[in-house]
Amino acid sequence: MTFSFTTLGTASALPTVERYPSAHILTVRERFFLIDCGEGTQIQLKRAGISFTRIDNIFISHVHGDHIFGLPGLLSTMSLMGRTAPVFIYGPSAFKPYLDFFISYLGDGIAFPVNFTPVSYKEPSMLVEFNNVEIFAFPLRHKIETYGYFFREKEPALNIRKEKIEAYNLTYYEMARLKEGRNVEREDCVLQVEELTYKPYEPRCFAYCSDTMPFAKLADWLCELSQYRKLDLLYHEATYDASDKELARKHFHSTAADAAECALKCHAGKLVLGHYSSRYRNTDKILEDARAVFPETYCAKEGDVFDIPVSRLL
């Protein structure tokens, strides 16, 4: 039951020889979600061994070039590869004119539907759901309208404790009701869900916090979305180190320490940093600043994969 985060690009506005603009893949049970699509995304997908045909859903945080300039090329290549299945894109409403321009003037020959869903929320809200995962969007605080995304596995169906099947001579009907979380009444007793079933694993969750300056509500929202359990993995921008805190505020960005404070407050299991300013040749100071606040911090590099293991409950 794969649940992993692959970093394709860790640069901020200016890419470097070693850093590509923002793009990431979240894999949930063999379904691939692309989050942001900066320039060079196609190359990085190929390097990561991720098939373009496996990507059906794309989430755009905001309409700054380092997060969207890779999308026209990616859609064009998908068309050249003979794709016919639709692509679903989610992002701020300001992204639609850009998408329409490409489709109308530069997208000749695209043979598949491109469906756009505008994101416009003032607080965390359900955006879309699939068989095993729910996806929420929440506003961030940047120069322009910007959103983060929260991916949460759905609660698994309950399992019947094997030793109870024979002990209670359970029928198929009774087991089906118990797995739905419903007690079953017999003439002489009531079969209790709590005694006869168990939850096989704890649902996992991941939060993506793109360009944003720190604000008090963010950690509270992440706690609510994780249903006050551990947030398994938090990706948070860390454009600047502590020495450039004033620059971070001026440009509506976060420092590494800001990201770490958020991780601490929302009870994250692990913090992954990215979106580094080109002024830093390496991320040593960024990592040092963050780990002073939140030790379980990692600075992402292009191609890094962060797995979220499943926690079995029995």
E strand spans, the chain? 3-9, 23-28, 31-37, 55-59, 87-92, 114-119, 125-129, 133-139, 147-153, 159-160, 184-185, 190-191, 197-198, 201-202, 205-209, 231-237, 268-274, 297-299, 305-307, 311-312
C-alpha–C-alpha distance, residues 162 and 157, integer Å = 15
The radius of gyration of the chain's CA atoms, rounded to the nearest angstrom, is: 22
> Which residue, 216, 211, 222, is CA-closest to 150?
222
| 36, 66, 241, 258: the active-site residue | 66
Q: Are strands 231-237 and 268-274 parallel, antiparallel or unpaired?
A: parallel
Active site residue 66: yes
Cβ atoms of residues 294 and 260 within 8 Å: yes
In 3-state terms, what secondary structure has residue 7? strand
Place of tokens 């793109």: 210
Which CA distances in Å does 49 have to 25, 30, 36, 71, 203? 11, 13, 18, 18, 27
Q: Supply the residues annotated as catalytic.
A: 66
